Structure 1
Amino acid sequence: MKILVINYRFFISGGPERYMFNLIELLESKGHEVIPFSVKHEKNKSSCYSDFFLSSVGTGKEIYASEYRRGVIKYFFKIISRYFYSFEAKKKLNALINKKHPDIIYILNYKALISPSIIDVAKKFNIPVVHRLSDFGKICANNVLYDYNKNEICEKCITGTKLNGIVNKCVNQSFANSMMRVFANYAEKLINVNKKVDAFVITSQFSLRKFKEGSMPIDKMHHIPTFFPENKLIISNEVSNKHALYFGRVDYDKGVHVAIEAFKNINSDLYIIGKASDNSYLNYLKELICSNNLENIHLLGEKTFDELCKYLSTCMFVVVPSLWYDNLPNSVLEAYAYHKPVIASATGSLKMMVENKKTGLLFRRNDPADLRSKVLELLVDEIATKELGNNAYKKLLNEYGSDQHYNKLINLFESLLKN
């Protein structure tokens, strides 16, 4: 089968891209031909199809929206086209399809950097389109169902009008950015994007429920959890010292400050790995650490996956203190692959991924004191902690294996091709 995979990044910047490269490797190992379509960027991995990639929106160095804002005037018209309808994307994808004649198109992320015009190209060639939803961008202006102004979960765009995203300045706390994101969602509705997509892949039952509440077409929804490749599994659980690890986005909705607060007066180190999309939040964390003389907290910044694995292999457990409805984060699966239990917020899909007192511990969301008690619980009982880690590894094998994911995804593809 020839499978055209579309994503707005062709380098690892987070969980969705790690999934993409793992999936490409898995599909190719099963004999399928994978054709990538993306946007040019200086960090992109090498591809023989890069000539078909779209030009970058900015300089080709930006990753997060805050970085694009610096050149918003210079790149204004290109930004507008990528939000609403890009003829460049349409032309480039048309050329790629004419050359490779794919059987099916699997879309990961396209918003703001590619545009929904690609779906019209697929329909022109009568190619089935499957769209994997890894965030809540279809039903929420800022993608995460979280109000950064009030720092709380927000479902106003589900229970009320999408215009709440503009009124509350939900995107980067900017009226203009929020208006563009909301109007782009309305434009997608106007050109029937959801009707043109043949199937949606949803990674968790929790997210499936939220999309249903947000009036997404439930008959097109297919629950297919992500996976962790078996060739990257770790056989044993070796802990060299009693430290904890957080890795992922370093942003407010990820609750990194909650973890820092929890580690006050704890005789154990917390290592924090990841890139901040907002420097003001990063500065806030540095000030929090400095003002409280927290020498046991280490902000390490961005690391390669190989570098991250060194910390994963030696930590005692992983902390996932998310404030938003975290949507099946890869960090939990990667922790499980290293036989590490996870202490996670009892919110969103995390309540399903982390089985309390079996594969880790759950704590009350946004409650540093409760998190601290759970950290101490694992630190004082190494034998029980190791047992939780072994259970976590078994859960990964049973529920998030490559074969389970591959069979469900290919069955979906084949059913669409038959129809």
Structure 2
Amino acid sequence: MTADAVPPTQMIVDPRFLQVADRFFRMFRTRQQGGGALAAYLYGEPVLDIWAGWATRDRRWAHDTVALSFSTGKGVASTVLHRLAERGLVKYDDPVAAYWPEFGAAGKEAITIRELMSHRAGLHRVRGLMPGPLDLLDSDAVAKALAAAPPDRRRLSGPGYHAVTYGNLVAEIACRVTGRTFPELVEQELAGPLGLREFWFRVPQNERRRLAPVFPRVNPLPSSWSATARVMSRLPGVRGIAEAGMAEGFDELMRSPSAHDAVMPGWNGVFSARALARMYGALANGGTLDGVRLLKEDTLDQVLEVQTRRRDYVLGIRPNWRLGYHPGWVALREQPLRSIGHYGFGGSGAFADLETGLSIAFVTNRLGSNLTTTIADARFPRLGGDAVSIARRAA
């Protein structure tokens, strides 16, 4: 069964994946739980495409609802750059400055694309990068500021998660080597070949009716965002999180409609679960889906290689970064080691497990479940764990 064989208004539940569907539907029983969508492919065939809950307090989640998915977009942006690398437009071990000369300022002349894609460029700081929060929406100004910024010295001892800046860096390289805008590249490299349009970093005005606004307000502590950020920026152990993700006013910016006017692939991607599962479905299936080759198998072999096993000085863990992705973290003792994907703040995420041929994607407007915070959310790891277990039995 191909995606085209089922009307987009009709849900898909392969009987083998009923356990996953049951868990998903239990997550969205009340308006307080918001809504979401879940989609999965197994060896190139759709096995789940379901949705539930509320897009707003008075509108149910529908087959075409989309949601802001934060860092989930990093995997999408990375896939675009890998497509360009296959055509020889960029090489992973070349300096970034070979394609973006201004980037070589302030001691960054030797930093490579490989290092940048594994969060070792030392440009994680978004706090203080721009004069005000709205300035973060000016991608040209952000690129100019990043090019002029000195790298953090901690990059020499380990990665530091570029929570917001990663997407701007990747997008600038892609635009420099092609002469096209990043939305044009996403359309050309992903949306067009995959036959789905919901890969948006700048949401078209005529599609914004489909958006499910995220909630609740974003703040890891009871105090204001500004006060919390100031305190965290001074505390060892969490200082990096404040530097990388807590720019002044960023909590309001991520809830503002103006966020959808900009191109910031590190955090402002808007997707459907169906589109994400389809992209990762190609990667999980040896790089192809429905006769379309997204990436070559030797590219996938390179992408799967762990680039650094060192502790990330922003996150405080060892993410084992791949080239633009992390592994699919799931609620299982035996993790899917041959997996690549990216999770987003508040719960959304997607990954491909090349061992089982499985891809799975989850989007939601509810930042964190009722029992967790907006930062540490276990919904997708549990859904992913169930799905990986089933795929292993099906293999």
Q: Same fold (TM over 0.5)?
A: no
| TM-score calculated relative to the size of structure 2 | 0.32
Q: Work out which of the two has the higher radius of gyration on C-alpha atoms and give 1 or 2.
A: 1
Between Structure 1 and Structure 2, which shows a larger proportion of helix residues? Answer: 1
| TM-score calculated relative to the size of structure 1 | 0.31
